[in-house]
Amino acid sequence: MKRPPFIYRYIIVGSILVFPPILSAHYGSIYLGKENGVLLGFSVGIICVTFACWKLYIDDWRDDED
C-alpha cells in the first residue's frame, strides 16, 4: 500500500494522538464519572500512542523519501 504524503502522515498521527483520548475522557467522564472517565482517557491514550509509534517506526512513516 502506498504511503500518504509526508505532511498528511503527520496530520494523521497527530489527530490519532489528540482526538480519541480527549473525546474518550470527555464522554467517559459524562457516563462513567470523573475518575473512571479520566482512566478511560488514559487507557485509550496508551492504545493511541502504541498505534502511532507503530506507524512511525515499524511502517517507517518518519522518512520523507516520497
pTM listed for this prediction: 0.86
**Which residue has cell 502504541?**
50
Confidence of residue 21 (pLDDT cuts 50, 70, 90): very high
Please check whether residue 31 lies inside any domain of the structure. yes
Euclidean distance between CA atoms 48 and 25, whole angstroms? 13
Number of domains comprising the chain: 1
Euclidean distance between CA atoms 21 and 42, whole angstroms? 7
- The pLDDT score that the predictor gives to residue 53 is 96
Grid cell, residue 23, equals 473525546
Confidence of residue 66 (pLDDT cuts 50, 70, 90): low
Phi, psi of 18 (to 5 degrees): -100, -55
Structural domain span for residue 33: 6-58
Q: Which of 66 and 39 is assigned the larger pLDDT?
A: 39
Q: What is the DSSP letter of 62?
A: S
Please check whether residue 49 lies inside any domain of the structure. yes
Please check whether residue 63 lies inside any domain of the structure. no
